[in-house]
Amino acid sequence: MFTDIVGYTKLCQENEVRAIQLLEDHALLVRPIVQVHEGTEIKTIGDAFMIVFSSAMDAVLCAIQIQAHMADRNERVSEKEKLHLRIGIHLGDVFKRAGDNDLYGDGVNVASRVVNLAVGDSIFFTQQIYDQIQKQIESPIIDLGMKQVKNVLAPLHVYKIGTEAEAAGRQLKQAISEEDMQTAFIEAPAVVLDRRAGEERRDPNNAPVDHLRAPLVDRRDPRNRRQGTEQSRKRVSLLFSPPPRRSAHANYISNLSARERFLLGLLAVTSLLGGFSFGVNHMPNNPVTVAANDMSEYGAARRIANEQPPARPNAPDCTASPQSCVSHAILFEKSGSYTEAAVLYGAACDARSGQACMALSRMYGTGLGLTASRVMADGYMMKACRSGDPEACTKIKSGLSLVDH
């Protein structure tokens, strides 16, 4: 699968600073969704992502969710800040060269040509993809006929996801809210850095910060939409450039390399699977509270992204017995140990337990012990459906997100 920003070359010529910011927005939106759908990012080529999936269905569902979230984002920003993506998908053989992580082959070449056929806000795919998904997806598919493309001998039979599906996708998958992304990618790493900095330097001016607070904005009120966007953009800048006010976390983040900053941000999103104890609570009419718990045992903040957390004692084998993991997770959740519960649910979900995937969707949807994220909630609900959970499939078919209940 290739994603591409429409008109990006022209945008770079007109306003390079804004083009770079939009490129970062593109990455912040795409990467978490790809992760939920078990895709692998191979590389970026300018403004394009090259991603591979283990199944055609995963690729198409990921593309639908990306476009749905991008459409909702565009409704909340000014005309100059809108991003229009085109996505091309193909199923074909690829290969790797020794010592090279890149992919080669006719499959890559065809997919890159398909994305060039696509227009803004659309998803184009080939006959090979259509053959795999036609009986599994309820979204309308439009037959675009045969298309001749450069450097491909035979014409390609090309299809696209219909506009009705894009509208349904927006209803089902709502936007990745700025609050979700600022807590997942920014606040948690900042807290870790502050905590470690305070412990190591014992500097009263850089005391450990255990919580960061920011007011929630009800973006359903049109008067607040612009306010919420501007607030989150200021917060997003923390991860990539130091803000005017030099707080402790800003000082330490600004000293990290770009790779370290990205890895720490990614770590915040994947902390659940890695066993790190990040706690994020979103409660109605209350501030966002972000806390990093007991992180000192993992060593200096600069090494966090490259370390493996210690094994959890007496953990059941979720691969061999996912139901045992679910049972343990339920007990942890009832006792208020939400992080432990989420780790076990995650392992059982990876072992194709629909019940576990649905439990994770509920925890992400309600913010119970985890970062409240509609992206993750909807993604795990799709995964639950694919794992055979009837409740998840019913909700998806009804066009409702779990967090709407």
- Report the CATH number that the domain containing residue 126 is assigned in CATH: 3.30.70.1230
Q: How far is CA 72 from CA 69, 279, 361, in A?
A: 5, 27, 21
On whether the CB atoms of residues 344 and 329 are closer than 8 A, the answer is: yes
Strands 141-147, 85-89: pairing kind? unpaired
Same domain, 169 and 23: yes
In a domain, 315, yes or no: no
- Residue 96 or 178, more confident: 96
Same domain, 168 and 289: no
Give Rg (Cα) of the chain. Answer: 21
Closest CA to 187 of 206, 207, 214: 214
3-state SS, residue 362: helix
Query: Domain boundary at 250, 276, 304, which?
Result: 304
Same domain, 143 and 103: yes
What's the total number of domains in the chain? Answer: 3
Calculate the CA 229 to chain-centre distance.
18
pLDDT for the residue 240: 31
In a domain, 317, yes or no: no
In a domain, 63, yes or no: yes
Same domain, 117 and 182: no
Strands 278-281, 288-292: pairing kind? antiparallel
pLDDT for the residue 260: 53
List pLDDT tens digits, range 10-45.
888 888 888 888 888 888 888 888 888 888 988 888
The answer for residues whose C-beta is within 8 angstroms of residue 316's C-beta and 6 or more apart is 324, 325, 328, 344
List pLDDT tens digits, range 294-308.
333 233 332 333 333
In a domain, 313, yes or no: no
In a domain, 314, yes or no: no
Query: Domain boundary at 304, 332, 361, which?
Result: 304
Same domain, 35 and 124: yes
Same domain, 164 and 183: no
From the number of C-beta atoms within 10 Å of its C-beta (0-12, 13-18, 19+), residue 94 rates as middle
CA distance 17 to 45: 18
- Report the CATH number that the domain containing residue 372 is assigned in CATH: 1.25.40.10
Same domain, 36 and 85: yes
Strands 122-126, 85-89: pairing kind? parallel
Same domain, 283 and 340: no
**Range of 238's domain?**
178-304
Closest CA to 248 of 308, 304, 197, 184: 197
pLDDT for the residue 398: 65
Q: Provide, for the chain, the percentages of residues in helix, strand and coil under a 3-state DSSP scheme, each rounded to the nearest 5.
A: 55, 15, 35
- Please compute the mean of the pLDDT values over residues 352-363 and round it to a whole number: 88
CA distance 233 to 266: 18
List pLDDT tens digits, range 53-71.
989 999 998 998 898 888 8
On whether the CB atoms of residues 159 and 125 are closer than 8 A, the answer is: yes
Same domain, 41 and 155: yes
pLDDT for the residue 280: 35
CA distance 334 to 405: 21
Report which residue type is found at 139. S
In a domain, 231, yes or no: yes
Same domain, 120 and 187: no
Query: Domain boundary at 173, 199, 224, which?
Result: 173
Same domain, 157 and 12: yes
Same domain, 347 and 374: yes
| Structure tokens given for 140 | 């309308």
Residue owning tokens 């995963």: 58
On whether the CB atoms of residues 129 and 56 are closer than 8 A, the answer is: yes
On whether the CB atoms of residues 206 and 194 are closer than 8 A, the answer is: yes
Strands 156-161, 141-147: pairing kind? antiparallel
| Structure tokens given for 192 | 């870790």
List pLDDT tens digits, range 248-273.
444 444 555 555 555 555 554 444 34
CA distance 34 to 50: 11
In a domain, 270, yes or no: yes
In a domain, 144, yes or no: yes
